[in-house]
């Protein structure tokens, strides 16, 4: 104990005279065997679950891969290609069918010569979405203006057409496939975000009438299934507008979706607003900012940022729910598959399965990437990026 200052009080006073030596950290137990034991077979229950999962995978994965890839038919021009034959006695997915019908799945019955308009719409949508989702993008205020104002107007004129600028008018009855699915989902987002913000603010308002109306709307819509809202919009909307301006089927469905999505968005935004400390409001008010400026400059930028993962999760749900517009007679992506799979030219035992597998893969990929994005943002927010 050379560190201890010698002397009669050495048992109470202490002055370090030599620095503590640097000692290497004891090695961790390592190796693949250790990892397996620690992660897969730590307890008897763990071991049993591991074996169960392996058996399940053994049982499901190979047949699935066989169907989707190894026994699948990739090319051909008719049902004969996908029927059992000498070379392929038990054919898997008939991807030849999907390839033939692919453009119908994307555009529906939209006229061939005008499909470039849909492609431009897709490009604009991707551009606007990327601008919104990329948090460090330059001029995100411009991005928001583009996404919430320019994109909807331009897309409407582009897709529907307008004789004044020489674009042939395409009736919405001819819209279909992925086009309609994306139109429905993006109108849902574009309308529901601002409306949801207003409803969330209304719900926190000090004015009883505003508060009651907001709560009433939110709770009413959240209390019924989407399909009910869609039917109501389909059936009741024509009652409120003059017959001369009878809204078409797609517009009615869009109104229903927008109403439904707004109520859910309102609740998501409310959670974001609740996460903003009282001090932020007080500091803004003490600086003389009025109510709307305080919201626009101080509260919403922070509240929406922490809300992004939930907004995206909401979007995932909405994206999947768009399949319900099928029931009010809209040709969405799933509906085009429904039509194609009964095509007599491709009548085989695997056609329906292939069609549905294709739909499932498409929905899964889209939702999975949105979900990954939401998780990424969540992690970034958790890491303390409060900008």
Closer to another protein by Cβ: residue 138 or 277: 277
7, 44, 208, 279: residue in contact with another protein (rule CB under 8 A) = 279
Burial of 334 (0-12, 13-18, 19+ CB in 10 A): buried
99, 139, 293, 372: residue in contact with another protein (rule CB under 8 A) = 293
Q: How far is the CB of 135 from another protein (least distance, A)?
A: 11
Stretch that binds another protein, among 52-60, 160-168, 179-187, 281-289 (CB under 8 A): 281-289
Radius of gyration of the chain measured on its C-alpha atoms: 29
- Applying CB under 8 A, does 383 fall inside the site for another protein? no
From residue 197, give the alpha-carbon distance in Å to each of 65, 84, 189.
Answer: 45, 56, 12
5, 55, 282, 349: residue in contact with another protein (rule CB under 8 A) = 282
Contacting residues for 5 by C-beta, under 8 A, at least 6 apart? 13, 14, 15, 17
Burial of 39 (0-12, 13-18, 19+ CB in 10 A): exposed
Closer to another protein by Cβ: residue 198 or 289: 289
- Applying CB under 8 A, does 386 fall inside the site for another protein? yes
Altogether, the residues listed in the chain come to a count of 387
Q: What are phi and psi of 73, to 5 degrees?
A: -100, 120
Cβ atoms within 10 Å, residue 68:
15
Closer to another protein by Cβ: residue 11 or 387: 387
- Applying CB under 8 A, does 225 fall inside the site for another protein? no
Determine the 3-state secondary structure of 94 from DSSP: strand
From residue 225, give the alpha-carbon distance in Å to each of 77, 219, 312, 323.
Answer: 42, 12, 20, 14
- Applying CB under 8 A, does 380 fall inside the site for another protein? no
- Applying CB under 8 A, does 384 fall inside the site for another protein? yes
Closer to another protein by Cβ: residue 22 or 387: 387
- Applying CB under 8 A, does 137 fall inside the site for another protein? no
- Applying CB under 8 A, does 297 fall inside the site for another protein? yes
205, 305, 313, 347: residue in contact with another protein (rule CB under 8 A) = 305
26, 32, 166, 288: residue in contact with another protein (rule CB under 8 A) = 288
Closer to another protein by Cβ: residue 248 or 385: 385
Closest C-alpha among 319, 322, 315 to residue 374: 315
The residues that touch another protein, with contacts defined as CB under 8 A, are 277, 279-280, 282-290, 293, 297-298, 301-302, 305, 384, 386-387
């Amino acid at each position: 104990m050379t560190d201890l200052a010698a002397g009669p009080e050495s048992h109470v006073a202490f002055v370090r005279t030599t620095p503590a030596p640097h000692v290497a950290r004891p090695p961790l137990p390592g190796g693949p065997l250790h990892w397996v034991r620690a992660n897969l077979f730590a307890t008897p229950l763990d071991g049993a679950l591991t074996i169960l999962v392996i058996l399940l995978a053994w049982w499901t994965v190979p047949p699935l891969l066989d169907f989707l890839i190894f026994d699948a038919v990739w090319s051909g021009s008719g049902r004969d290609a996908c029927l059992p034959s000498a070379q392929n006695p038990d054919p898997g997915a008939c991807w030849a069918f999907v390839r033939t019908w692919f453009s119908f799945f994307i555009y529906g019955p939209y006229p061939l010569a005008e499909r470039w308009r849909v492609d431009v719409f897709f490009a604009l949508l991707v551009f606007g979405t990327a601008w919104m989702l990329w948090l460090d993008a330059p001029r995100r205020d411009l991005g928001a203006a583009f996404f919430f104002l320019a994109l909807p107007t331009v897309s409407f004129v582009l897709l529907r057409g307008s004789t004044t600028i020489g674009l042939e008018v395409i009736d919405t009855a001819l819209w279909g496939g992925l086009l309609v699915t994306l139109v429905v989902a993006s109108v849902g987002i574009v309308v529901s975000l601002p409306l949801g913000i207003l409803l969330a603010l209304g719900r926190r308002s000090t004015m009883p009438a505003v508060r009651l109306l907001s709560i009433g709307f939110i709770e009413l819509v959240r209390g019924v299934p989407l399909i009910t809202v869609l039917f109501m919009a389909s059936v009741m909307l024509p009652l409120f507008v003059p017959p001369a301006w009878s809204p078409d089927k797609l517009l009615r469905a869009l109104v229903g979706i927008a109403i439904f999505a707004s109520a859910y968005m309102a609740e998501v935004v409310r959670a974001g607003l609740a996460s903003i400390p009282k001090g932020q409001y007080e500091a803004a008010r003490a600086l003389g900012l009025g109510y709307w400026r305080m919201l626009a400059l101080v509260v919403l930028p922070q509240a929406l940022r922490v809300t992004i993962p939930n907004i995206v999760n909401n979007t995932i749900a909405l994206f999947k729910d768009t399949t319900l517009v099928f029931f009010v007679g809209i040709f969405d992506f799933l509906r085009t598959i429904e039509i194609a799979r009964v095509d007599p030219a491709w009548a085989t035992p695997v056609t329906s399965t292939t069609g549905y597998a294709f739909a499932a893969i498409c929905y899964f990929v889209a939702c999975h990437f949105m979900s990954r994005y939401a998780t990424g943002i969540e992690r970034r927010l958790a890491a303390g990026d409060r900008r």
